[in-house]
Structure 1
Amino acid sequence: MPATDPRPAVPGPAMATRRAFLAGAGLTAAASLTALRPGTARAATARTGAARVVAENRLSPRVLDLTVDSPALATTAMARLLLPAGWTPQPRRTWPVLYLLHGAEDDYTSWTRSTDVEALTRNADVLVVMPSGGQLGFYSDWWNHGAGGPPRWETFHLTELRRILEAGYGAGASRAVAGLSMGGFGAMSYAGRNPGLFRAAAAYSGVVHTTYQGARGPAFVQEFLIKDGYDPTALWGDYQLNAGVWASHNPYDLAVALAGIPLFVSSGNGTPGPLDPPGTPPSLAIEELIGEMNTAFVRCLRQAGANVTADLYGPGTHNWPYWERGLHRSFSLLMKAIGIDA
């Protein structure tokens, strides 16, 4: 078991319903080409501190996969870049950046695999960054019962990877962040915890209120950690005894900090909607609760005076067609915030 994995040696059971949670359907193997050896091209130069790129894999003219050796994770992790048209590394040229965060039980390939993000951004002069976030990493530096240490996903994304991208891949200082489900949590948590780092944030079916209705929200999060074999209190501790740790990551509790940037929040209510195939069963246990979380989150944001565009669209399940639509509906907001006319 990797050093970053706070699970016992025997993993928990795999369940289709759990995999639907925060991830959607249809994982497929990513195509690959021969990776560059460490020490070639930017793999040699894009090093910041101890974190470094150990391999590059150019899948197409616009898709570049990086393998990053991360001290924060104590292992390697992947990041997929969707490059602006005509991109080449230039010492004095930078591009605005859009971070896209994936859901649980999924990975860095999900956005290009399951949406038209490549076509959507074809004419936008933006660098799209889609990093690994762990199967259930929750975009956090894990508390680990007060001991800290790996996995430190926030440090990996916002310090190690960001500096690598700025040093060797043309990432500029204008950034927006968006994500689906667990990634929607990550987008709002990252933006709220790091004022000034992002100029806009969007969440699609995001887990945006982790302490919703007392024990109901924590139980929702911890159930999936338990079923996947994780210690449920290693992430943020006990939700009562370590309430401050939970609150410091919870988008709902970060509403005031989020009020300074444009926000987009979307979710359904779990009943089959217009983008679901005929005969789709309800996903009430997932999207219904997430819809309630988002309704409470939007209300809290508005009370805090936030500039939030809410798309609480009612019928709709926890699945990719709605998240792709959310990306489209929020795209101009995200691009305008980082200085791109889209």
Structure 2
Amino acid sequence: MAAALVLPFAAAQAPAPAQPTATTAPATIRNIVWHSDRHVAIWVNSPAMGAPIQVRLLLARDWNTAPNAKFPVLYMLDGLRATDDNSGWIAETGAVDFFADKNVTAVLPVGGQASFYSDWLESDNGKNYKWETFLTKELPPLLESQWRATGTRGIAGLSMGGTAAMFLSARNSDFAKFAASYSGFLTTTSTGMPQAIRLAMIDAGGFDAAAMWGPPDSPQWEEHDPVYLADRLKGQSLYISSGTGASGKHDEGSEIPGVTPNMFGMGLETLSLITSQNFVSKLHELRIPATVKYRSAGTHTWPYWDFELRQSWPQAAAALGVPAAKPECAVGGAIAGVTAGNGWLGDCLTGEYRVPGGVAQDFLHGRVFFTPEAGAHPVAGRIGGGYQAAAGPHGALGLPIGGETPLPDGRGRYQPFQHGSLYWTPETGAQMVGGAILAEWGRQGYEGGPAKYPVGPEVRTPHRDGAVQSFEGGPFYFSPATGAHRVEGLILGKYAELGFENSWLGFPVAPEVPLKDFGRYSGFEGGNIYWSPLSGAWAVRNGPVMDAWRDAGFENGRLGFPISDEFAVPGGVQQNFQHGAITVRDNRAEVR
């Protein structure tokens, strides 16, 4: 019966695969968002694609306990309907929890809808797909230099990603030690396959298969056909699986036994089975060993791929040189008391290990830290990610001194640490606040005050001795000489226009103050910025103009608010006000 399902394929000599597009500039990281202490999203500037590509990393189990260690990586590729916001492995399966106790870093590219993770001949539908170059040439050096990856790699994928896992491994010698296809289409040139792929790509985003590999008789189709490339997989650990398309335990049943209403899923899985059998036949012909799992039922859906990930793991672990199971661990002392009251932490992943000022232990859904002074406290979730972004126990925050707590507004959460606090909302993420900025923010009412929540970390000002941290209601600026003060609204806009602290204004020296007619002003080292609804925002420099305006009664006097910045005139400078002007020549001010 199985033999009757095998489609014919040409027995031609396998073509030499074209090499991925060469790039000269290295890939760089554009942005990093931590979702937990070992789940991180990075956006990588890809020179080949000319765009930032999101990659999710599920960091190895011993990432925290062995900070100098490097780990193998396992690429997990998505299917034809990949989205640009998250990996399907994260959104649709239990991959995050599954990899939590595995000592590899899982690398999950995000995006690539209908791309087959290949280098396309032409751009199409607004996408410049150069995925093979990105995955095999641009991303590995970045992972090895900045994310503690070794050169030991595996690659697995579902559907479209299963096809790519096999041809990427074959086309790039020594790239992967393990390659797995879960319901992949493992011939691309067999009778009817180019047409089937073309229709599937149109359905999944309106993409043109000819832009990918040219017309069906183009050599590019054979150069991406796992069957034609099979001889290049010698020495790799291979895993191939597929269902039959018949209704299984994860499918909706119908009145007809073995048939599910998901006809599309049935058809795709049947096609996967047929093409996988073609590929396996070629491997047998070449005497290349492979693990082959044909399930008796199951359609083209996520629950079966989640199952195959787990079923193939022992083989992947052996190929990547890591244990398949986590080591034994136990929980005791004060940490045991915390875990007893916080069952959501799950099983331990490690034993206790020392961190600066205390000890820590990693669990399925977070970490627990202990100090003799503050006791034991869990750190987890997005706040755990924010803690990791701030270098965790090795960073400026120190160790936790309390648990995570919801805030009165019902929107945010916070957790206190030895040297600051972490605040989180869905809109702002987890941000650290400490030192003088935390004290001034607290004086203004914390998140309940006008500044609201922090939206970024505190950063050093590049050219002056100070720091700035952005909040929803305006940034706080700090310098040792001036302390911490917030600048907001249109006054902030004017401050930005003039060059922030690098301008003649310098750092703010006082909070914003209300004035008559709904006006406001903020004081700075070199002068003030004034604003009112009728006059707009303008800066007045300390010196003769400011002194003359003061003597005239500031905005309450006959001149009113400024309506311009200071500007040059013959022999001096001038600044205009609502009802007059001040001109300075030879350091003497004239009010008119």
TM-score (norm 2): 0.47
Deviation string for 1:46-103 (max 9, x for gaps)? xx93421110000011110001111111111100000113425989531011110000
Cα distance in 2 between the residues matched to 1:137 and 1:90? 37
The separation in 1 between residues aligned to 2:313 and 2:66, in whole angstroms, is 26
CA distance in 2, matches of 1:120, 1:225: 30
Q: Distance in 1 between matches of 2:172 and 2:152?
A: 14
Deviation of residue 122 (structure 1)? 2.4
Give the distance between the partners of 1:169 and 1:90, measured in 2 at CA: 13
User: 1:201 matched to which residue of 2?
Assistant: 179
Counterparts in 2 of 1:220 and 1:249: CA distance versus 1, 3 Å: same
Aligned match of 1:233? 210
| 1:66 and 2:48 are equivalent in the alignment | no
Alignment of 1:25-44 (within 5 A): none
2:283 to 258, 281, 301: 301
> Does residue 106 in structure 1 map to residue 86 in structure 2?
no
Pairs aligned (count) = 288
Q: How do residues 127-142 of structure 1 correspond to structure 2 at under 5 angstroms?
A: 127-142=105-120
Shift of 1:303: 1.2
Residue number in structure 2 paired with 1:175: 153
Partner of 1:217: 193
For the pair 1:276 / 2:251, whether they are aligned, the reply is yes
Structure 2 spans left out of the alignment, 5+ residues: 1-23, 255-259, 325-592
Pairwise CA distance, 1:315: 1.7
Question: Does structure 2 conserve the Cα–Cα contact (< 8 Å) formed by 1:99 and 1:176?
Answer: yes
Residue aligning to 2:28:
52
Shift of 1:158: 1.0
SS of the residue corresponding to residue 239 of structure 2 reads: strand
Deviates more, 1:317-326 or 1:124-133: 124-133
Give the residue type in structure 2 aligned to 1:250: D
- Structure-2 separation of matches of 1:54 and 1:89: 27
* Partner amino acid, structure 2, of 1:239: P
CA distance, structure 2, for counterparts of residue 183 and residue 93 of structure 1: 29
| Aligned match for 1:126, one of 91, 96, 104 | 104
Secondary structure in 1 matching 2:307: helix
Identical pairs, percent:
35
Which structure shows the higher strand fraction? 2
1:70–1:90 Cα change, 3 Å:
farther
Q: Is the 8 A contact 2:80 2:201 kept in 1?
A: no
Q: Distance in 1 between matches of 2:65 and 2:138?
A: 19
5 Å-filtered alignment, 1:262-341, equals 262-279=237-254, 280-281=260-261, 282=263, 283-341=265-323
Distance 2:79 2:275 in 1: 17
Q: Does 1:163 align with 2:141?
A: yes
Which residue of 1 is the match for residue 535 of structure 2?
none
Post-superposition offset of 1:195: 1.9
- Deviation (angstroms), 1:328: 1.0
Corresponding residue to 2:221 among 246, 252, 265: 246
In the TM superposition, what whole-angstrom CA distance separates every residue of 1:14-38 from its partner, at most 9, and x where no partner exists? xxxxxxxxxxxxxxxxxxxxxxxxx
> Corresponding residue for 1:76?
52
8 Å CA contact 2:155, 2:179 repeated in 1: yes
Distance 1:319 1:306 in 2: 29
SS at 1:272's partner residue?
A: coil
* Contact kept? 1:142, 1:150, Cα under 8 Å: yes
**RMSD of equivalent CA atoms:** 2.1
CA deviation string 1:126-182 (max 9, x = no partner)? 11100124111111111229xxx9321101111111111111001101111100001
| Greater Cα radius of gyration, structure 1 or 2 | 2
SS of residue paired to 2:179: strand
Rounded to whole Å, the distance in 1 between the matches of 2:290 and 2:62 is: 34
Deviation at 1:266, TM superposition (A): 0.5
Match of 1:94 in 2: 70
Q: Tell me, what secondary structure is at the counterpart of 2:210?
A: coil
Distance 1:290 1:86 in 2: 37
- Structure with higher RCO (Cα < 8 A, 6+ apart): 1
What is the CA-CA distance between 1:120 and the residue it aligns to?
2.2
Matches of 1:271 and 1:294, distance apart in 2: 16
Contact 1:259/1:301, CA 8 A, preserved across alignment: no
- Hey, what's the Cα distance between the residues in 2 that align with 1:278 and 1:326? 22
In structure 2, what is the Cα distance between the partners aligned to 1:329 and 1:303? Answer: 26
Cα pair 1:95 1:126 within 8 Å, conserved: yes
In the TM superposition, residue 274 of structure 1 has moved relative to its aligned partner by 2.6
Contact 1:267/1:311 (<8 A) preserved = yes
Report the counterpart of residue 144 of structure 1 in structure 2. 122
Structure 1 letter corresponding to 2:307? R
- Could you tell me how far 1:225 is from its partner in structure 2? 2.7
Residue 229 of structure 1 aligns to which amino acid in structure 2?
Answer: G
Distance in 2 (CA, whole Å) between partners of 1:174 and 1:133 is 24
Q: TM-score, normalised by structure 1?
A: 0.79
